């Protein structure tokens, strides 16, 4: 055990256990090493512009109104709009806490559910922040496979086999980062059945729920009561930098804990953002979300076809979000393949960043015009000598 005196004597910083070994994700590490004029298949950040009516409204609010703190959980009118997104829960306004992006909602939810030594079930592959949040809350990540050989579909036997008396929470994400796959109603029914009576919390990351290409994805909260919804506006309305997210939960004790923690971490998200976001459920906003769905659907199909016709490679067909998993196993280690692409000015993310199951794949995000994506595929072809 290190003491404060020991730390000072040695002149070295000893971080608390929760911070040890925590690193920026491989997604960021690859992106930050991009050569000039690289094609970005790496970051999951919408390239479509933020809708004009939202920008104008935020500018007006900044100029005309006084923007002090809001109450910690956010302005009631905005929280009411969010509750209406989940009519099946019949949430009171206190059932929602508005956070600085869904990332804050996620971290808060983990901190409020997970205790030292608790196990948390995470999908493999999945967004690396879940692993980090589990460790920050001093829990132990336990992975359930979404098998690559079934295009990363949910597998209830895998899920069930990982539940132990120590399991405190489980994470689901749909549409998925990194696979673009959507959980079916049956998947959720099976999860609800497996968790029934266990007291396990289900953390449902629904940040991509407005970006779907066929049927609207269901919310895990329709099937299992002890669910904490994590969502926001970043992806569907190209508002990543605005930092508007939320946690929603029908359990008053849990959402209150999240609200208290949020008050001590960020106080409230930007007041200007909150007020402008009142327009995020208008007809204009719904039209912008539909436009985003149409654009990403077209781009996903374009890119998957191009990988097949130009490189003879299989990429999973996306059902939502803006990701596909490209199978590059024939070229060797995904880290090396991604490195070769990086050196030829194409940023991708090695599947390893998301878990063992995605080894041999690259996550490709299609937040790019068709022209840029075609150039990206040309450069990858060159890099891999196809």
Ligand X SMILES: Cc1ncc(COP(=O)(O)O)c(C=O)c1O
Contact status: 207 vs ligand X (CB under 6 A) = yes
Starting at the earlier edge strand, list the strands of the sheet with 140-145.
96-99, 245-248, 227-232, 201-205, 167-173, 119-124, 140-145
Contact status: 101 vs ligand X (CB under 6 A) = yes
Residue nearest to ligand X (CB): 101
Residue 88, both tokens = 């099946």
The site map against ligand X for 164-203 (x = CB under 6 A) is ---------x---x--------------------------
* Signed CA dihedral, 87, 89, 92, 94: sign only: negative
Contact status: 38 vs ligand X (CB under 6 A) = no
Q: With contacts defined by CB under 6 A, name the span among 195-203, 232-240, 289-297, 369-377 that binds ligand X.
A: 232-240
Contact status: 365 vs ligand X (CB under 6 A) = no
| Residue among 232, 300, 350, 351 that touches ligand X (CB under 6 A) | 232
Q: How big is the site for ligand X, counted in residues (CB under 6 A)?
A: 13
CB of 51 closer than 8 Å to CB of 285: yes
Residue 160, both tokens = 């069930």
Q: Which residues contact 139 (CB under 8 A, 6 or more apart)?
A: 110, 114, 115, 116, 117, 118, 119, 120, 168, 169
Q: Measured from the CB of residue 339, what is the shortest distance to ligand X in angstroms?
A: 22
Residue 98, both tokens = 């508005």
Residue from 122, 125, 96 nearest 26 by CA: 125
Q: Measured from the CB of residue 379, what is the shortest distance to ligand X in angstroms?
A: 24
Q: Measured from the CB of residue 55, what is the shortest distance to ligand X in angstroms?
A: 17
Q: Measured from the CB of residue 168, what is the shortest distance to ligand X in angstroms?
A: 20
Contact status: 44 vs ligand X (CB under 6 A) = yes
Q: Measured from the CB of residue 10, what is the shortest distance to ligand X in angstroms?
A: 37
Q: Measured from the CB of residue 302, what is the shortest distance to ligand X in angstroms?
A: 22
Q: With contacts defined by CB under 6 A, name the span among 95-103, 182-190, 327-335, 344-352 that binds ligand X.
A: 95-103
Contact status: 240 vs ligand X (CB under 6 A) = yes
Contact status: 234 vs ligand X (CB under 6 A) = yes
Q: Which residues contact 345 (CB under 8 A, 6 or more apart)?
A: 34, 35, 36, 37, 38, 39, 379
Q: Which is nearer to ligand X, 167 or 177 (CB)?
A: 177
Contact status: 274 vs ligand X (CB under 6 A) = no
Taking the C-alpha atoms of residue 153 and residue 158, their distance in angstroms, rounded to an integer, is: 11
Q: Is 133 helix (H, G, I), strand (E, B) or coil?
A: helix
Taking the C-alpha atoms of residue 255 and residue 232, their distance in angstroms, rounded to an integer, is: 16
Q: What counts of helices (H) and strands (E) characterise the chain?
A: 13, 12
Binding site for ligand X (CB under 6 A): 44, 101-103, 127, 173, 177, 205, 207, 232, 234, 240, 245
């Amino acid at each position: 055990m290190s003491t404060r005196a020991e730390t000072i004597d040695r002149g070295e910083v000893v971080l608390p256990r929760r911070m040890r070994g925590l690193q920026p994700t491989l997604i960021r590490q690859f992106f930050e090493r991009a050569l000039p004029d690289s094609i970005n298949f790496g970051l999951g950040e919408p390239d479509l512009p933020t809708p004009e009516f939202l920008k104008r409204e935020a500018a007006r609010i900044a100029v005309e109104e006084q923007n002090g703190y809001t109450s910690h959980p956010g302005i009631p009118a905005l929280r009411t709009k969010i509750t209406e997104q989940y009519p099946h829960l019949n949430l009171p306004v206190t059932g929602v806490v508005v956070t600085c992006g869904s990332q804050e909602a996620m971290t808060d939810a983990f901190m409020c559910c997970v205790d030292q030594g608790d196990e948390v079930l995470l999908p493999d592959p999945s967004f690396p922040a879940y692993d980090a949040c589990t460790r920050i809350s001093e829990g132990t990540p336990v992975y359930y496979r979404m098998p690559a050989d079934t295009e990363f579909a949910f597998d209830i036997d895998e899920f069930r086999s990982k539940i132990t008396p120590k399991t405190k929470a489980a994470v689901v994400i749909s549409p998925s980062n990194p696979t673009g796959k959507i959980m079916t109603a049956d998947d959720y029914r099976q999860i609800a059945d497996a968790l029934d009576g266990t007291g396990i919390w289900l953390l449902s990351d629904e940040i991509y729920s407005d970006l779907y290409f066929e049927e609207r994805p269901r919310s895990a909260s329709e099937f299992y009561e002890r669910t904490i919804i994590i969502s926001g506006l970043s992806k569907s309305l190209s508002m990543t930098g605005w930092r508007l997210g939320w946690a929603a939960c029908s359990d008053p004790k849990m959402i209150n804990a999240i609200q208290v923690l949020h008050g001590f971490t960020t106080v409230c998200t930007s007041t200007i953002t909150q007020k402008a976001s009142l327009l995020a459920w208008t007809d204009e906003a719904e039209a912008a979300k539909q436009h985003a769905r149409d654009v990403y659907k077209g781009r996903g199909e374009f890119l998957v076809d191009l990988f097949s016709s130009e490189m003879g490679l299989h990429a999973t067909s996306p059902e939502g979000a803006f990701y596909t998993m490209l199978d590059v196993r024939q070229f060797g280690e995904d880290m090396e393949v991604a490195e070769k692409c990086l050196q030829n000015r194409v940023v991708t993310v090695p599947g390893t960043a998301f878990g063992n199951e995605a080894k041999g794949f690259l996550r490709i995000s299609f937040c790019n015009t068709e022209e840029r994506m075609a150039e990206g595929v040309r450069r990858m072809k060159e890099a891999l000598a196809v």
